[in-house]
Amino acid sequence: MTTVKRVERIAVAVVLAILVGVPGLVFSYQALRARNGQRGEILVVARTVERGGWRPARIVVRRGQTVKLRILAEDVTHGFQLLHFGVNAGAIKTGTTRVVEFTPDRVGDFPFYCSVRCSPLHMALMGTLVVE
Ligand SMILES: [Cu+2]
């Protein structure tokens, strides 16, 4: 009898957790998306290749739409260069961010680089901007 009650109680708890938890998760996810959409910025984290490189290393955007990238130099001083669209953020000091803005007018894959010698593998610190 008591075992049945305990099972019942656990079942109710599980159902409650799903009923409350799932909409909560969906709501916070949507709130997060809306906030990101409002600011219209894409956060790009720069780390040395040894520590994982760009995150994300592949950024997908749309042709003709203004792109705002907030570059965070997480571990050491980094740069951000996207020569095809005339973007050069200069040196971004450790722990600080810089926002670059541009409007891609061509479709294709365009490499972006770090412009500051950040580690022995600095030359390998590359990512791709995909314009659709
Ligand atoms: Cu570098």
pLDDT digits (tens, 9 = 90+) for 28-76: 544 444 444 446 899 999 999 999 999 999 999 999 999 999 999 999 9
pTM (global) more than 0.95? no
Sign of the alpha-carbon dihedral angle for 87, 56, 37, 71: negative
The Å distance, Cα 109 to ligand 1 centre, comes to: 21
Residue 16 has pLDDT above 80, yes or no: no
What architecture is the 40-131 domain classified under in CATH?
Answer: Sandwich (2.60)
* Residues whose CB is less than 8 angstroms from the CB of residue 107 and which lie 6 or more positions away in sequence, other chains included: 63, 131, 132
**C-alpha 121 to ligand 1 mean position (Å):** 8
C-alpha 3 to ligand 1 mean position (Å): 62
Residues with beta carbon < 5 A to ion ligand 1? 114, 116, 118, 122, 125
